[in-house]
């Protein structure tokens, strides 16, 4: 399944509900999520960070959050996950 900014137009309450439904529906399946919000990718197994069309970081969210000075960490520090 492919989700392209699936929750971008939702408030935080409805975003959480839809994200939960997406998590349940995609269990055991390969899914690709395109998102700008950290909350939309917090449950992903693997994150790919793109900048100007190029992969600049790749890995599990926890690993990327622990990467000092990394782009994912910089964005993650702005938002509460």
- pLDDT tens for the chain, 81 residues long, are 888 988 888 888 898 898 889 889 888 999 998 988 887 888 889 999 999 999 999 999 999 989 999 989 888 777 654
Number of domains in the chain: 1
The predicted pLDDT at position 53 comes to 94
Domain that holds residue 58: 2-78
Instruction: Give, in order, the Cα–Cα distances in Å from 41 to each of 4, 45.
Output: 12, 9
CB 49, CB 57: distance < 8 Å? yes
pLDDT of the residue at 49: 93
- pLDDT given for residue 79 in this prediction: 65
Domain holding 20: CATH number? 3.40.50.300
What pLDDT shows up at residue 54?
A: 96
Beta-strand ranges (E) seen in 1-81 are 2-4, 32-34, 47-51, 54-59
CA distance 58 to 47: 6
């Amino acid at each position: 399944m492919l989700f392209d900014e699936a929750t971008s137009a939702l408030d935080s309450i409805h975003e959480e509900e839809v994200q939960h439904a997406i998590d349940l529906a995609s269990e055991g399946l390969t899914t690709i999520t395109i998102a700008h919000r950290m909350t939309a990718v917090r449950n992903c197994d693997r994150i790919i960070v793109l900048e100007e069309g190029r992969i600049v970081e790749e890995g599990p969210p926890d690993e990327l959050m622990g990467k000092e000075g990394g782009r994912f960490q910089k964005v993650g520090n702005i938002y509460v996950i």
